[in-house]
């Protein structure tokens, strides 16, 4: 190799070899002129904004850069042209989101305020200094237990007593901010703020405590029949507004009942599915009436419970799941076990029950794929990391998070070859302190290794990354190889690796292509 020209040819070939596994390259020969043009525009804007808006000094944002901590950088992100463009992008499917954290806390509070029987209580006096840790407990009460205690904050409040949400809000102490103070307190208890993520709770273990508490708080509002339906409706509508056309939320079935409008804790799982189905159909109908039928293909549920139960308890849930699948075959998409892998039980602890679950499915003539969380950890060889081996051996259809997957050459190869997609949740990973910023995230490595990826928001109500636009934004900030074609490939794969089957999947993909073409036109016009 003597000449520079020869060197450059070898170099181009090596770079091509290295990128050959990327999923958008598999179809790159067919990339349209339009897509190439739109991709250039997006790259140009990304480069330009990296040098302008991301380099300005911001008093409250000490070190801005593209892909920085989401909770701090969000106020910059929403001002960018890149964000404006991505908000118009069709996103395909949302395959990893915990239902209880899919609707923003403000909206949930509004829903709750419409229910006079919803009450709130605290066990310690509220003070300005303990607003962040003295958390509200919510419950809908039977009519006869409803109270007329006037306030939650007065000296006459009997600690531990239920106060109606309306009363609590209307009389919230002025020195705690009055009604606005109440709203902030409630919303703060169901969301993570920057001071928590990057200050007081700046380790994985500490932020998980805060994270877990948001679910404990919000469940008292969400697991209430009249709210649940409206919550789901809002989840679907806001997803559609962000360009998401299909969702597979995980629903936590740990509690065996939810509360009815009558304040009784007696609505069983099958009723949850009835509600889910009804609202899903209503939203489809609503979209059809607006001539937007293709924008919402529908919704299915990944049945989930939590990794602290015993194997015997798990057996109850697997049987429950089978029964639901038999009654609602179109609604149950899969099965998962959730919770902080770093501290809860590993999959191997449940292996026997999970193997039996598969046998039982055969006996009952149903097919409920595992769609396991695994490797949501910084570990290498820890139980949480080793979950990846179990998830794959148990035949998981996709991997939730798979943050540590890139460490394992054999598993990367298996995911690529068998088509096991990874549900990557960049903003979730960053706020839960697996990574400090997007450029440190393993996603670019997964993409270069040809592992199929579906981009997901995980718990947008807690993290503030509603929809998928924010996560796509972060993906674009993390790699110069990644461009608009990459985002398109990821969105396509979210449909490809969903549990949609034959005809449904084809419709979803066709509709995606139609909208993608429209989107490219939009970008080309934007860039002029």
Taking the complex as a whole, the smallest distance from the CB of residue 382 to a copy of itself amounts, in Å, to 5
- Say which DSSP state 347 is in: G
Residues 24, 183, 242, 390: which binds a copy of itself (CB under 8 A)? 390
CA atoms within 13 A on the CB side of 341: 31
Judged by CB under 8 A, the residue of 107, 328, 389, 526 near a copy of itself is 389
Nearest approach in angstroms of CB 508 to a copy of itself is 30
Nearer to a copy of itself, 366 or 481 (CB): 481
Nearest to 126 by CA among 156, 157, 153: 153
For the record, the structure tokens of 499 come out as: 């549990």
393 binds a copy of itself (CB under 8 A): yes
Tokens found for residue 168: 């609590």
Q: Is 380 in the site for a copy of itself (CB under 8 A)?
A: yes
List all residues 6 or more positions away from 110 whose beta carbon is below 8 Å from its beta carbon: none
Q: What are the distances in angstroms from CA 129 to CA 62, 133, 163, 175, 185?
A: 26, 9, 22, 11, 12
Is 58 a binder of a copy of itself (CB under 8 A)?
no
What's the angle, vertex CA 450, arms to CA 446 and CA 454, rounded to 5? 65
Q: How far is the CB of 387 from a copy of itself (least distance, A)?
A: 11
Residue number with CB closer to a copy of itself (293 or 445)? 445
HEC-encoded secondary structure of 130-175? HCCCCCCEEEECCHHHCCCCCCCCCCCCCCCCCEEHHHHHHCCCHH
CB-nearer residue toward a copy of itself: 184 or 382: 382
- Residue 464 is given by DSSP the state S
- In this chain, which stretch among 6-14, 177-185, 419-427, 461-469 interacts with a copy of itself, using CB under 8 A? 6-14
Q: Pick from 50, 146, 323, 445: which binds a copy of itself (CB under 8 A)?
A: 445
DSSP code per residue over 378-434: S-SSSHHHHHHHHHHHTT-SEEEE-TTGGG-HHHHHHHHHHT-EEEE-HHHHHHTTS
Cβ 11 to a copy of itself shortest distance, Å: 6
Q: With contacts defined by CB under 8 A, name the span among 121-129, 180-188, 201-209, 237-245 that binds a copy of itself.
A: 201-209
Nearest residue to 298 via CA among 334, 248, 246:
246
By CB under 8 A, tell whether 494 contacts a copy of itself.
Answer: no
Under the criterion CB under 8 A, does residue 26 sit at the interface with a copy of itself?
Answer: no
- Helices and strands (H, E) in the chain, number of each type: 22, 15
Contact letters (x/-) for a copy of itself, 63-92, by CB under 8 A? Answer: x-x---------------------------
- Which CB, 306 or 348, lies closer to a copy of itself? 348
52 binds a copy of itself (CB under 8 A): no
**Shorter beta-carbon distance to a copy of itself: residue 239 or 435:** 435
Q: How far is the CB of 445 from a copy of itself (least distance, A)?
A: 4
- Residue nearer to a copy of itself on the CB measure, 5 or 155: 5
Distance (Å, whole) CA 369 – CA 498: 11
Phi, psi dihedral angles at 246 (to 5 degrees)? -160, 140
Q: Single out the residue of 225, 385, 423, 458 in contact with a copy of itself (rule: CB under 8 A).
A: 385
Question: Of 234, 304, 396, 435, which one interacts with a copy of itself (CB under 8 A)?
Answer: 435
Q: Does 367 bind a copy of itself (CB under 8 A)?
A: no
* CA–CA gap between residue 294 and residue 510 (Å, rounded): 9
Stretch that binds a copy of itself, among 146-154, 171-179, 218-226, 432-440 (CB under 8 A): 432-440
Closest to a copy of itself by CB, 238 or 449: 449
378 binds a copy of itself (CB under 8 A): yes
Q: Which is nearer to a copy of itself, 190 or 411 (CB)?
A: 411
70-77 vs 469-477: helix crossing angle, rounded to 10: 100
Dist. CA 387–CA 409, nearest whole Å? 15
452, HSE (Cβ side, Cα atoms, 13 Å): 21
Biggest CA-to-CA distance, the chain: 91
- In terms of CB distance, is 109 or 384 closer to a copy of itself? 384
Report the C-alpha gap between 410 and 405 in whole angstroms.
10
Interaction between residue 449 and a copy of itself (CB under 8 A):
yes
Radius of gyration in angstroms for the set of CA atoms belonging to the chain, rounded to a whole number: 24
What is the nearest approach in angstroms of a copy of itself to the Cβ of residue 7? 6
Choice from 154, 160, 174, 381 touching a copy of itself (CB under 8 A): 381
Nearer to a copy of itself, 39 or 248 (CB): 39
Q: Where do contacts with a copy of itself occur on this chain (CB under 8 A)? A: 1-2, 4, 7-8, 10-11, 14-15, 17-18, 20-21, 62-63, 65, 202-203, 206, 348, 351-352, 355, 359, 378-382, 385-386, 389-390, 392-393, 406-411, 434-436, 439-440, 444-445, 448-450, 478-482
């Amino acid at each position: 190799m003597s000449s520079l020209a020869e060197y450059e040819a070898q170099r181009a070939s090596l770079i091509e070899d290295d990128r050959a596994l990327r999923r958008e390259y598999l179809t790159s020969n067919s990339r349209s002129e339009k897509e190439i043009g739109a991709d250039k525009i997006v790259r140009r804007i990304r480069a330009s904004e990296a040098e302008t808006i991301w380099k300005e000094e911001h008093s409250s944002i000490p070190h801005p850069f593209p892909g920085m901590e989401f909770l701090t950088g969000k106020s910059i992100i929403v001002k960018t042209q890149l964000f404006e463009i991505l908000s118009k992008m069709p996103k395909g499917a949302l395959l990893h989101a915990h239902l209880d954290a899919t609707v923003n806390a403000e909206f949930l509070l509004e829903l709750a305020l419409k229910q006079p029987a919803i009450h709130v209580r605290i066990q310690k006096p509220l003070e300005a200094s303990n607003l962040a840790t003295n958390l509200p407990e919510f419950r809908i009460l039977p009519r006869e237990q409803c109270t007329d205690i006037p306030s939650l904050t007065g000296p006459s409040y009997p600690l531990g007593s239920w106060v109606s949400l309306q009363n609590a809000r209307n009389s919230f102490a002025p020195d705690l901010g009055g009604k606005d103070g109440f709203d902030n307190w409630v919303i703060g208890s169901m969301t993570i703020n920057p001071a928590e993520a990057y200050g007081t709770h700046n380790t994985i273990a500490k932020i998980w405590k805060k994270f877990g508490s948001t679910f404990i708080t919000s469940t008292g509002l969400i697991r209430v029949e009249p709210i649940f339906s409206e919550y789901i409706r809002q989840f679907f509508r806001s997803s559609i507004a962000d360009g998401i056309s299909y969702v597979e939320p995980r629903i936590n079935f740990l509690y065996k009942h939810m509360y009815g409008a009558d304040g009784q804790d007696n609505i069983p799982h099958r009723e949850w599915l009835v509600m889910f189905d009804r609202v899903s159909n209503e939203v489809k109908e609503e979209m059809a009436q607006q001539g937007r039928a293709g924008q919402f293909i529908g919704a299915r549920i990944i049945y989930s419970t939590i990794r602290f139960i015993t194997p015997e308890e798990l057996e109850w849930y697997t049987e429950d799941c089978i029964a639901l699948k038999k009654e609602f075959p179109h609604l149950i998409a899969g099965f998962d076990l959730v919770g902080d892998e770093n501290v809860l039980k590993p999959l191997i602890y449940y292996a026997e029950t999970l193997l039996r679950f598969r046998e039982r499915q055969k006996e009952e003539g149903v097919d409920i794929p595992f769609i396991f969380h695994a490797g949501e950890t910084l570990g290498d060889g820890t139980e949480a990391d080793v979950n990846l081996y179990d998830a794959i051996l148990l035949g998981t259809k996709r991997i939730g998070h798979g943050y540590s997957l890139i460490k394992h050459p054999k598993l990367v190869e298996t995911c690529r070859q068998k088509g096991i997609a990874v549900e990557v949740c960049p903003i979730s990973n960053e706020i839960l302190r697996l990574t400090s910023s997007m450029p440190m995230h393993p996603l670019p490595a997964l993409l270069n290794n040809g592992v199929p990826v579906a981009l997901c928001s995980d718990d947008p109500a807690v993290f503030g990354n509603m929809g998928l636009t924010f996560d796509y934004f972060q993906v674009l900030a993390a790699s110069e190889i990644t461009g608009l074609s990459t985002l398109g490939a990821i969105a396509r794969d979210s449909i490809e690796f969903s549990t949609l089957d034959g005809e449904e999947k084809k419709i979803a993909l066709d509709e995606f292509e139609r909208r993608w073409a429209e989107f490219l036109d939009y970008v080309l016009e934007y860039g002029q």
